[in-house]
C-alpha cells in the first residue's frame, strides 16, 4: 500500500484515506498510512488530518467527570457546558441550530462596538458613541456555567461567565418587579450578615457606566445606587449595586465584592442559571476587583458540549505550564481582549491571506460567542481550502434563511460515522501557532449527522475568536503581563 507517489495528488490520498476509514477494522491501517506518508514528506511531527467519530460531536447521555485540577490550581472552580452531560439543567437541550441563532444577536452587538472603535471612537464613555441604543451589552447563550458562594453564610449561585461583560449580577429576593425561573433559589440579601447596598456617592456607582454603558440611577447622593444593564437580545437586569462576601472555593474568599442585586430581570436565552459573572476589563469586573488577590490573572478550559467538566481558575497555576505559549494582547484597545491573527493554515498549508485583513477593526477573543467570525476574505480562503479536502462527502445546502447566511459549508455524515477532516491552525502575534481541537472545527446543527457545518462564519466588522474553537485548551489571561496563553489538554 503506497502513498500515491509521495502525496503528489491530494485527491488520490484523500480518497484512499476515506475508503480505509469507512471500516472500523481499518482504523489502525489508516493511522499507519498517514504516519508513513507524513514521514516520506518530512512532516512526521505534524498531523494534517483528523479522524473524528461523529459520536464525539453528538450529545452523550451520561456525565463522566474527568477534570483533575491538581495542586497547581488552587482558586479553581468546576465549569460545565450549559447543555452538556454534566449540566444540572432540566428539560430538553436546544439544538445547535437554536443556540447559533441566539448567538447571532451577541455577535451583532459586539460588531457594532468594534465598528465604533474602528471609526476612532475608542472611549466607551465618549458622547460620540451612541449607547446603549445602538451598542447594548453583548447578550447570547451563556454556554459555560460556574457555581460560587455569595453572602454569609454562603449560598450557591450559578453564573454564566463572560469575558465580554464586566459587571457581575444575580437575581435577588424579594424580586420587586420581575424575575425569570432559575434552578437554584434566588439570592436573599436579608439572609446575609455581610450584605450592604452602595450609595450614589460611592466610587463604584461612578464606575457603572464603564461597566454597563449606563450610569448609576440616583435620586440624590445618599440614595442607594441602582444599576441597569441591557442586552441586544432583549435580556436585561436592573437592581441595586451592592457588596457582599464572594466564596470561590473553600479557601478563596473575596470580601466586599461589588455586584448587581437584580430586582427586575429577563433572560431570553434560558431559564436555569442565576446571573452573569463579568470577566471583562473594566474596574468593576471580577478580574479587576480581585487583582490584588490573584494578580490580574485567570484561566479557563471550556469543555465540549459532549465532554465533561472544565475549570475557571483565578491566579497563576502550574498546570500545563510546560505546554503554555503566549501571544500578546493588542494595546490601546478598549472593552474587550484583543489579539492579533497573522494567518490560518489548512492541512498544514498557509492560506493566502494578507495580514492587513485582520487589523481593522481587530479581533477579540470571547468566551460568550460560540462560532468564530472571520473577516470575509479570510473566511472565504478558509472555506475554499477546507472544501478541497472534503470532496468525498455529500454537501448539504441549508434551507433556513438565517442559518444559510451563517453557514455555506455543510456536509451529510449520516452514512459516515468516522469522517476525516483536515487540520486547521491559527498563527497569532508572536508567531504562536495553535492547532484547533478537531471537535472545534465542525458543528452539527441537529442531533444527527444530516448537517454538520464548518464552524466558522464571515464578518464585515472585525473578527471574534469564539468559544467553540477554544474548547479543550487551557486559555490563560495574563492581564497584568499583557498576554494570552494557550496550552492543549486544559480540561484534563
Q: Active-site residue 233, yes or no?
A: no
* 385 assigned to some structural domain: no
* 410 assigned to some structural domain: no
108 & 188 share domain: yes
33 & 153 share domain: no
Q: Which residues pair with 454 in a beta bridge?
A: 442
- The single-letter DSSP state of residue 466 is -
pTM for the whole structure: 0.84
What is the tens place of the pLDDT at every residue in 316-366?
887 667 789 999 999 877 778 999 999 999 999 999 999 899 988 789 999
Domain count, the chain: 2
The grid coordinates of residue 85 equal: 452531560
Q: Which entry of 162, 437, 461, 478 is annotated as an active-site residue?
A: 162
Q: Active-site residue 366, yes or no?
A: yes
Q: Which residue has the cell 448609576?
A: 216
151 & 251 share domain: yes
What is the tens place of the pLDDT at every residue in 98-110?
777 777 777 777 7
Lowest average pLDDT, out of 31-35, 287-291, 464-468, goes to 31-35
Q: Which residues pair with 475 in a beta bridge?
A: 300, 486
* 51 assigned to some structural domain: no
E strands in 288-400: 297-301, 310-314, 325-328, 337-339, 341-346, 349-350, 363-365, 372-375, 395-396
* 143 assigned to some structural domain: yes
160 & 265 share domain: yes
Q: Which of 294, 314, 334 represents a domain boundary (last residue)?
A: 314
Is 404 in a helix, a strand, or coil? helix
Asked if the model's pLDDT at residue 264 lies above 90, the reply is yes
Here the CATH number for the domain that contains residue 258 is 2.40.70.10
Domain of residue 40: give its range. Answer: 4-45
Q: Which entry of 244, 252, 309, 366 is annotated as an active-site residue?
A: 366
Report phi then psi at 128, rounded to 5. -75, -15
32 & 134 share domain: no
Asked if the model's pLDDT at residue 481 lies above 70, the reply is yes
Is 69 in a helix, a strand, or coil? coil
DSSP per residue over 204-216, as a string?
A: HHHTHHHHHSSPP
Amino acid at each position: 500500500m503506497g502513498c500515491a507517489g509521495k502525496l503528489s495528488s491530494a485527491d488520490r490520498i484523500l480518497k484512499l484515506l476515506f475508503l480505509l476509514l469507512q471500516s472500523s477494522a481499518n482504523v489502525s491501517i489508516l493511522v499507519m498510512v498517514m504516519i508513513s506518508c507524513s514521514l516520506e514528506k518530512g512532516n512526521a511531527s505534524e498531523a494534517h488530518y483528523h479522524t473524528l467519530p461523529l459520536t464525539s460531536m453528538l450529545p452523550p447521555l451520561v456525565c463522566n467527570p474527568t477534570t483533575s485540577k491538581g495542586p497547581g490550581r488552587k482558586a479553581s472552580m468546576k465549569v460545565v457546558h450549559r447543555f452538556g452531560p454534566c449540566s444540572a439543567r432540566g428539560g430538553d437541550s436546544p439544538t445547535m441550530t437554536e443556540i447559533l441563532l441566539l448567538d447571532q444577536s451577541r455577535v451583532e452587538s459586539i460588531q457594532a462596538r468594534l465598528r465604533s472603535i474602528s471609526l476612532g471612537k475608542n472611549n466607551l464613555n465618549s458622547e460620540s458613541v451612541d449607547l446603549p441604543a445602538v451598542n447594548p451589552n453583548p447578550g447570547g447563550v451563556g454556554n459555560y456555567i460556574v457555581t460560587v458562594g455569595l453572602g454569609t453564610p454562603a449560598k450557591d449561585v450559578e453564573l454564566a461567565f463572560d469575558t465580554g461583560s464586566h459587571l457581575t449580577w444575580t437575581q435577588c429576593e424579594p424580586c420587586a418587579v420581575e424575575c425569570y425561573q432559575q434552578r437554584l433559589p434566588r439570592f436573599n440579601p436579608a439572609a446575609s450578615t455581610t450584605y450592604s447596598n452602595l450609595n450614589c456617592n460611592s466610587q463604584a456607582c461612578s464606575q457603572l457606566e464603564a461597566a454597563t454603558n449606563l450610569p448609576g440611577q440616583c435620586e440624590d447622593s445618599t440614595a442607594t445606587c441602582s444599576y441597569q444593564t441591557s442586552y441586544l437580545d432583549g435580556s436585561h437586569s436592573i437592581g441595586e449595586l451592592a457588596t457582599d462576601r464572594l466564596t470561590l472555593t473553600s479557601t478563596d474568599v473575596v470580601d466586599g465584592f461589588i455586584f448587581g442585586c437584580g430586582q427586575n430581570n429577563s433572560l431570553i436565552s434560558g431559564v436555569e442559571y442565576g446571573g452573569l459573572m463579568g470577566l471583562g476589563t473594566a474596574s468593576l469586573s471580577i478580574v479587576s476587583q480581585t487583582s490584588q488577590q490573584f494578580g490580574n490573572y485567570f484561566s479557563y478550559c471550556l469543555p465540549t458540549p459532549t465532554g465533561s467538566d472544565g475549570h475557571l481558575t483565578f491566579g497563576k497555576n502550574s498546570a500545563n505550564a510546560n505546554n503554555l505559549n503566549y501571544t500578546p494582547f493588542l494595546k490601546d484597545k478598549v472593552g474587550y481582549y484583543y489579539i492579533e491573527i497573522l494567518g490560518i493554515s489548512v492541512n498544514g498549508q498557509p492560506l493566502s491571506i494578507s495580514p492587513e485583513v485582520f487589523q481593522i477593526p481587530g479581533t477579540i477573543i470571547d468566551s460568550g460567542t460560540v462560532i468564530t467570525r472571520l473577516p470575509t476574505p479570510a473566511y472565504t480562503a478558509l472555506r475554499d481550502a477546507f472544501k478541497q479536502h472534503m470532496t468525498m462527502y455529500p454537501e448539504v445546502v441549508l434551507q433556513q434563511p438565517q442559518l444559510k447566511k451563517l453557514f455555506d459549508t455543510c456536509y451529510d455524515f449520516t452514512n459516515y460515522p468516522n469522517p476525516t477532516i483536515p487540520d486547521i491552525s491559527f498563527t497569532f502575534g508572536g508567531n504562536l501557532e495553535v492547532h484547533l481541537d478537531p471537535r472545534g472545527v465542525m458543528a452539527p446543527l441537529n442531533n444527527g449527522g444530516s448537517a454538520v457545518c464548518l464552524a466558522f462564519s464571515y464578518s464585515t466588522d472585525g473578527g471574534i475568536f469564539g468559544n467553540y474553537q477554544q474548547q479543550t485548551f487551557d486559555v490563560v489571561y495574563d492581564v497584568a503581563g499583557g498576554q494570552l496563553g494557550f496550552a492543549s489538554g486544559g480540561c484534563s
